[in-house]
Structure 1
Amino acid sequence: MLRRTLLASALAIPALAACATATSGARDPLAPLPLDTSSHARPEIARVTHVSLDLTADFERKVMRGKATLSIAARDDAREIVLDSLNLVIHRVSAGGAETTYTLGESRPSLGAPLTIALNGARTVEIEYESGPDAASLQWLTPAQTASNKPFLFSQGQSILNRTWIPTQDSPGIRQTYDARIVAPEGLKVVMSAEMLTPEGEPLGDGQRAFRFRMPQPIPPYLIAIGIGDLVHRATGPRTGVYAEPSVVERGAYECADMERMMDVAEALYGPYRWGRYDVLILPPSFPYGGMENPRLTFLTPTFLAGDRSLVSLVAHELAHSWSGNLVTNAVWADGWLNEGFTSYIEGRIGEALFGEENARMAEALAWADIQTALTTVTPDGQRLHWVGEVDANDNSSAITYDKGALFLRTIERIVGRTRLDTYLRSYFDRYAFQPMTTQHFLADFRQHVVRGDAALEAQLLLDQWAYEPGIPSNAQAPVATGFNDIPGHIEAFIAGGPPAAAPWEHWNTMQRQRYLQTLPRELSATQLRDLEAAFGLDDIGNMEVRFDWLSLAIANSFEPSSAAIERFLSEQGRGKFIRPLYRALMQRGEWGQALARRTYAHARDGYHPIVAAAVDRILAA
């Protein structure tokens, strides 16, 4: 889902296992961390523990400006602290209230530059600065790009983009609390991934309003997030609700009606929800991902608003991150499966509890098919759960990080039993709450608490093969989904010349429709494609997952009658999961596809988030 710079030193990983403790809050603030070469920080010497922001959102200049005050834990002999910075404009730096010296080192693409600040014995640092107008984590939308015709701003920090608007140590292993005072124009509401202290803001008398926030739980810095726009709130339960623009919020509240039930299921399985409220923010269509699990305030794409609650697994996934990812976090991005694989497994458990076993089996079967495709397209190094070397997640398959990771846990469940795994996972989240984790330490912990020296069980589990080797180990089993049993017959009948309308499309759920479209032969005649589109209205179907599968099939056959639908789909939303594969497919379809891709991109690019635009730039330039 998310772009990551993934470099890790396997040699440094044992340090985490040596320092981990069994209770949250008991960690040494300078506890050793594995080397994270996606950050310039040297947390073994001096480490940020709290970030206090006092910023103004300047919509005219498209910058965040103000100051950040950092609280620091440091060794007695620490003379400096090293932060991450990418295109920040630094105006003044002080340490302990006195102006101090600082240097900005050489900037590298994506990684940015080290900001090294002399401490002079101080344990607080204040930085006056502003973000650059092209900060990759911030998208400033014009009124024309929003539903309410008012300006909008949102951030996307994962994996290492928050260094473009916050000078801090931008590594997932360095947990930080934060508070913020954000000034925005009157008529706009500020929300953040934190407790809102001033829901209506404080009028400043100059056409602006200040909003205050606090996050007392220590979080990885990529989870600091902000949204500013014409926003209203609708409650969906005592602890849950939806923020969105006024014309969107009722649709959002309808789709998210089950959020409180989802929380109840997750808490029964894995322990209490530790973040207070759980709200979601439905963003404008340019949001580049399905969702982002910012604590207390998940960011969501509007593409999940299908009108029939058929895509709410996305909400279950982001809520599950409140345990796996936000509570216990991968210490380095090479271990991203500890966030996403665990979360995909929990998403499945929530879905099974709310919507039935067969629903869960169908989702697992679709994921299994995605894994099989990935094994033919992803390099061996990219097939490992613990990624080796330098990996860009834009080029790595989520079928590995998400789906192989979840399959690993389902395999463990099948072998040791669901009750035993649930008991372990609940204790795991309790013991490592608000702490970083590595693959090596997770496996050691699992062996200690579950395997317990049982050689036969160890041999059954193949733990190291799952974590460190490419491919899928021999103990994996393909899921069986009876809800898909009739689909091959309907496909055979259609290929033999029967009408597509003979299939029970109206009675199929989203996953059955996806399975049908994904399983159809990749080569179809123009007549067959016309019949499919006419029977099911696929060019304009409201379910974006199904429409994506249809347009992928249309592109694979250079189906000219769907050209306008392809262009419309690529222009009206900017979700990278949909955008990147379709442009890539178009560029492989010769003159027809390339012309359509370039024509569409020429007018759609300005509406894409910088993350997605950069990816499509590379696709079209290849």
Structure 2
Amino acid sequence: MRPSILSLCLVAALAAAGCSRDATAPADTATKEAAVAAADQKAVAEVDEYSYSEPAKVRINDLALELKVDFDKKELAGSATYTLDWTDPKATQLILDTRDITIEKVVGERADGKWDDLKFALADKDKVLGSKLTIETPQRNPRIRVTYHTSPDASGLQWLTPEMTQGKKTPFMFSQSQQIHARSWVPLQDTPQVRFTYTAHVTSPQDAMVLMSADNDPKAARDGDYTFKMPQKIPSYLLAIAAGDLTFQPISDRAGVWAEPGMVKKATDEFADTDKMMQTAERLYGPYRWERYDILVLPPSFPYGGMENPRLTFATPTVIVGDKSLVSLVAHELAHSWSGNLVTFSTPKDGWLNEGFTSYVENRIVEDLYGKEAADMEKVISRNELAAEYKEIDPKLQVLALRPGTLADPDGASSSTVYTKGAWFLQFLEERYGRDVFDPFLKEYFNHFAFQSIPTTKFIEYAKANLLDKHPGKVTEAELDEWIYQPGVPASAPKTLSPRFDAVDAARKAWLDNGTLPAADATAKWSTQEWVHFIDGMPEKLSSEQLAALDKAYHFTGTPNGEIAQRWYPLAVRSGYGQANTAAAEFISRVGRRKLIMPTYAELVKTPDGLKLAETTFAKARPGYHPITTASVEETIAKAKQAATGPAPAK
């Protein structure tokens, strides 16, 4: 998953040379603590605290779905049939994860092929984990079927009215299963430790095209009756579905774009390099094993930048800006076809195994296709964001492999740690060993653990055996453990500089010093990344006159580029530049991508007038937000209101 091409933080002009290690313990203490942490982690490596399921006793091998898409009721209704592997001879229960699902009936298949009713119990709902579904299985049935329907408020589904789509004629529905939202639309062992194949038969209104993270046929007739097959085993968070007014346009014989009719050509032009990206990744890391790679462009309410659903990446339209400057999102989601989808973390505590590896591979693809300077600019931006985040967040969240109990909700992990520190660690290994060694190592790592879910400890064992031991004297075990188990960024982190950003820094300084704007012929050639760096390096606040001058020259207010908007509007709000308020409110109403809109909400709620504008805007925008985005905005506004009124008096 890509929460943002360029993350949410509005960063001051931080040194591109790397992050501080202020939070890191002295070397000798760190080494001892790392050893203890590693031992602790190994003991609990296979425990997924975010799932009720018991995969050590029984596992789902195959899932067969029969579903009906009902836009009027905003529900999916039907059944899920599980083919089971009973690994514990004493087990007589199947425990599944659910959230806000109504269970209507449970039956189990007998040895003679007939089906019997099974007793089941749905526990009270936990705010994060949902409700445990316990099915009594005294006969240890080889197949069990659960008939159910979802809630209109399912956290993993969004239902859009026609007015919320580009075409304004047909309703739209899409899923977002990661991290643990699949359980809100299918009762499942909702843990990445369990991988399964699946088939699905889905019915819908005839004017809705249905797609899934499976074998979508570009030539399929839109008739309201669809069948799907996913022959490769996937974890539950990669289960995906979408339905709406969708049409297809090919990029190559194995890649293409699905989107609303008014968006499909624009998106196909923007993502034209997709097959070239596939070829680069295959050359570096081995064959693409998922047959097709298509991209579904969702409405602007999609809460993330992208989601790596196998064969069908879900993508935000906010990266389609006309110049391919933000297509690293496609490189990122495609990279997941190796790191994440092929080799998967076994628990959300090990999220860096998915996102850190993917961010590293993404950067290698960008470098190969668009040049080292483009790749380096991406690195500098993400590392500046990491440095800014590390000034604020708990050191416990700055480690790659989280300890149990650190994170109450897996959606709340530090994205900068998981993505940027993880990728930085792999660049550290690359530079120590050289690409002639590290590239074959990574290629074989993907091959060795293909279609498996592993904890961090497995990676460490593999790295020690195939890097450290085979090439002694390059990296010590203490350095390996420091990167993985200690907060902050080690002093050994490789540095990245960007000459193009140096020029941006000089232009910004000249303007701040004497009011001289950069030459128009220079800024006309700036990429999105350079504009982002230009704004990121501004002081915390500017005068209204300064902001008006920038606005007059560059038209930041009202910009169609979300990466610029997510930086400009918070700066304008902080600085009291009310001229941007209307455009800021329109932007956060129209876009539901959390990383783009939350910085503006966060600044608005800091003043009484801003809080009122935030509440008014949220009330208007809420019907078009995904439940994940809604929860983030609600929490931000609630905290601001509580801070304004003070704590409740003691009784």
Length-normalised TM-score, structure 1? 0.93
Per-residue deviation, 1:540: 2.2
Please name the residue that 1:598 is paired with. 615
Q: Deviations over 1:454-493 (max 9, x none)?
A: 6633338711011010011110133111111212221121
Contact 1:95 1:118 in 2 (8 A): no
Query: After the TM superposition, which residues 257-268 of structure 1 pair with which residues of structure 2 at under 5 Å, given as runs?
Result: 257-268=272-283
Query: 3-state DSSP class of the match of 1:440?
Result: helix
Q: Distance in 2 between matches of 1:238 and 1:114?
A: 44
2:68 is aligned, of 56, 60, 63, to: 56
Per-residue deviation, 1:200: 3.1
1:351 and 2:366 aligned: yes
1:195 and 2:211 aligned: no
1:86 is aligned, of 52, 75, 99, to: 99
Per-residue deviation, 1:397: 2.9
Query: After the TM superposition, which residues 443-592 of structure 1 pair with which residues of structure 2 at under 5 Å, given as runs?
Result: 443-452=460-469, 456-459=473-476, 462-502=479-519, 504-588=522-606, 590-592=607-609
Query: After the TM superposition, which residues 66-105 of structure 1 pair with which residues of structure 2 at under 5 Å, given as runs?
Result: 66-74=78-86, 75-96=88-109, 97-105=115-123
Q: Distance in 2 between matches of 1:198 and 1:439?
A: 38
Q: Distance in 2 between matches of 1:556 and 1:403?
A: 27
Per-residue deviation, 1:66: 0.8
User: Residues 396, 68 of structure 1: CA spacing in aligned structure 2 closer, same or farther, 3 A cutoff?
Assistant: closer
Query: 3-state DSSP class of the match of 1:475?
Result: coil
Per-residue deviation, 1:539: 1.1
Please name the residue that 2:400 is paired with. 385
Q: Distance in 1 between matches of 2:117 and 2:144?
A: 9
1:255 and 2:270 aligned: yes
Please name the residue that 1:426 is paired with. 443
Q: Distance in 2 between matches of 1:170 and 1:434?
A: 17
Q: Distance in 2 between matches of 1:523 and 1:37?
A: 43
Q: Distance in 2 between matches of 1:547 and 1:108?
A: 37
Q: Distance in 2 between matches of 1:522 and 1:202?
A: 52
Q: Distance in 1 between matches of 2:152 and 2:97?
A: 18
Please name the residue that 2:300 is paired with. 285
1:230 is aligned, of 231, 241, 245, to: 245
2:132 is aligned, of 104, 109, 114, to: 114
**Between 571-580 and 286-295, the greater mean CA deviation after superposition:** 571-580
Please name the residue that 1:28 is paired with. none
1:185 is aligned, of 205, 214, 230, to: 205
Q: Deviations over 1:242-299 (max 9, x none)?
A: 0000001011101110000000000000000000100000001111000000000000
Please name the residue that 1:47 is paired with. 59
Contact 2:207 2:222 in 1 (8 A): no
Which AA in structure 2 matches 1:507? K
Per-residue deviation, 1:508: 1.0
Contact 2:192 2:344 in 1 (8 A): yes
Which AA in structure 1 matches 2:90? D
User: Residues 121, 491 of structure 1: CA spacing in aligned structure 2 closer, same or farther, 3 A cutoff?
Assistant: closer
Query: 3-state DSSP class of the match of 2:263?
Result: helix
Per-residue deviation, 1:500: 2.4
User: Residues 460, 352 of structure 1: CA spacing in aligned structure 2 closer, same or farther, 3 A cutoff?
Assistant: farther
Per-residue deviation, 1:123: 1.1
Contact 1:380 1:470 in 2 (8 A): yes
Q: Deviations over 1:420-459 (max 9, x none)?
A: 1111010000010000111111011001011117663333
Contact 1:197 1:212 in 2 (8 A): no
Please name the residue that 1:142 is paired with. 161
Q: Distance in 2 between matches of 1:198 and 1:537?
A: 40
User: Residues 328, 490 of structure 1: CA spacing in aligned structure 2 closer, same or farther, 3 A cutoff?
Assistant: same
Contact 1:84 1:168 in 2 (8 A): yes
Q: Distance in 1 between matches of 2:219 and 2:94?
A: 35
2:289 is aligned, of 274, 283, 293, to: 274
> Structure 1: any 5+ residue segments left out of the alignment?
4-8, 17-32, 204-208
Q: Distance in 2 between matches of 1:57 and 1:267?
A: 37
Length-normalised TM-score, structure 2? 0.89
**Between 551-560 and 403-412, the greater mean CA deviation after superposition:** 551-560
> Structure 2: any 5+ residue segments left out of the alignment?
4-36, 110-114, 640-651
Contact 2:179 2:411 in 1 (8 A): no
Per-residue deviation, 1:15: 7.6
Query: 3-state DSSP class of the match of 2:475?
Result: helix
Which AA in structure 2 matches 1:463? L
Q: Distance in 2 between matches of 1:202 and 1:607?
A: 26
Query: 3-state DSSP class of the match of 2:576?
Result: coil
Please name the residue that 2:186 is paired with. 166
User: Residues 460, 168 of structure 1: CA spacing in aligned structure 2 closer, same or farther, 3 A cutoff?
Assistant: closer
Contact 1:232 1:244 in 2 (8 A): yes
Which AA in structure 1 matches 2:548? R
1:331 and 2:346 aligned: yes
Per-residue deviation, 1:201: 4.8
Q: C-alpha root-mean-square deviation of aligned residues, in Å?
A: 1.9
Query: 3-state DSSP class of the match of 2:158?
Result: strand
Q: Distance in 2 between matches of 1:397 and 1:114?
A: 27
Query: 3-state DSSP class of the match of 1:185?
Result: coil
Per-residue deviation, 1:523: 1.9
Q: Distance in 1 between matches of 2:301 and 2:447?
A: 37
Please name the residue that 1:27 is paired with. none
Contact 1:178 1:215 in 2 (8 A): yes
Which AA in structure 1 matches 2:85? A
Query: 3-state DSSP class of the match of 1:458?
Result: coil
Q: Deviations over 1:190-212 (max 9, x none)?
A: 00000136953585xxxxx2100
User: Residues 349, 202 of structure 1: CA spacing in aligned structure 2 closer, same or farther, 3 A cutoff?
Assistant: closer
Q: Deviations over 1:26-47 (max 9, x none)?
A: xxxxxxx811110000111111
Query: 3-state DSSP class of the match of 2:557?
Result: helix
Q: Percent identity?
A: 40
Q: Distance in 2 between matches of 1:183 and 1:581?
A: 40
Please name the residue that 1:123 is paired with. 142
Where does structure 1 differ by over 4 angstroms across 4 or more consecutive aligned residues?
Answer: 9-16
Which AA in structure 2 matches 1:376? K
Contact 2:80 2:187 in 1 (8 A): yes
Q: Deviations over 1:283-337 (max 9, x none)?
A: 0111100000000000001101101111100111000000001000110001101
Contact 1:368 1:479 in 2 (8 A): no
Per-residue deviation, 1:394: 5.2
Which AA in structure 2 matches 1:584? A
Q: Distance in 1 between matches of 2:438 and 2:471?
A: 16
Q: Distance in 2 between matches of 1:597 and 1:497?
A: 35
Which AA in structure 2 matches 1:440? T
Contact 1:198 1:211 in 2 (8 A): no
Q: Which has the higher contact order (CA 8 A, sep 6+)?
A: 2
Q: Distance in 2 between matches of 1:325 and 1:450?
A: 21
Which AA in structure 2 matches 1:554? A
Per-residue deviation, 1:77: 2.7
Q: Distance in 1 between matches of 2:497 and 2:510?
A: 23
Q: Distance in 1 between matches of 2:629 and 2:335?
A: 25
Which AA in structure 2 matches 1:306? V
Q: Distance in 1 between matches of 2:568 and 2:477?
A: 41
